[in-house]
Amino acid sequence: MELKTKVNAENGKQDLFITREFDLPLELLFKAFTEPELVAQVMGTKVLKYESKKHGSYQFETADANGKVVLQAHGVIHEFSPNRKIVKTFEMETASFGVQLEMYEFEKMTDDTSKLNMHIIYESGALRDQVLKLPFAYGLNMAHNRLQDIMNKLK
């Protein structure tokens, strides 16, 4: 089966491409990027501010189960063309990955399907690779923690 979401990150480059085909009409796909409450649901974060317009800005904040803030991110919107294109920056205050430039291009495929092409540019190739490795490292850690849990129970 072909993957619905594809990531293309060429070796030694400082950018990457993500493409995804949606079983949604173009207008509905784009809407998910315009309403703060929808963005909050998709990203699994609290949205403090989200101005979906040119020169607008946004702010996210995610807290853990105990209410401790674990992630703070923000950015500005450079271009906002309905059903066509969004250009914005993204920066995490809680991590040192620098700022990234994100370009989202929306494409109609059929009346009921659409496609999103994302192009993300990082400050350097090394920073891009760090971001790419983050979920990998997290996965390794999770596996390690699970192992630890199992071992603790055996004690």
Partner 1 sequence: MNLRRDVFQAIADPTRRAILVLVALQAMTAGAIASNFGTARPTVSKHLQILTECELLRQEQNGREIYYQLNPQKMKEIADFIEPFRKMWDDRFNTLEAIMKNYKSK
d(CA 25, CA 14): 32
Q: Considering the complex, what minimum distance in angstroms separates the CB of residue 145 from partner 1?
A: 10
- 82 counts as binding partner 1 under rule CB under 8 A: no
Instruction: State both tokens at 90.
Output: 């993204």
Write the DSSP assignment of 87-101 as a string of letters: EEEEEETTS---EEE
Q: Is the dihedral of CA 18, 23, 25, 31 positive or negative?
A: negative
- 28 counts as binding partner 1 under rule CB under 8 A: yes
**From candidates 14, 15, 17, 20, binder to partner 1 by CB under 8 A:** 20
- 140 counts as binding partner 1 under rule CB under 8 A: yes
Q: Which residue has the tokens 């990955």?
A: 97
Residues that bind partner 1 (CB under 8 A): 3-7, 9, 18, 20, 22-24, 28-29, 31-32, 38, 41-44, 116, 129, 131-136, 138-141, 144, 147
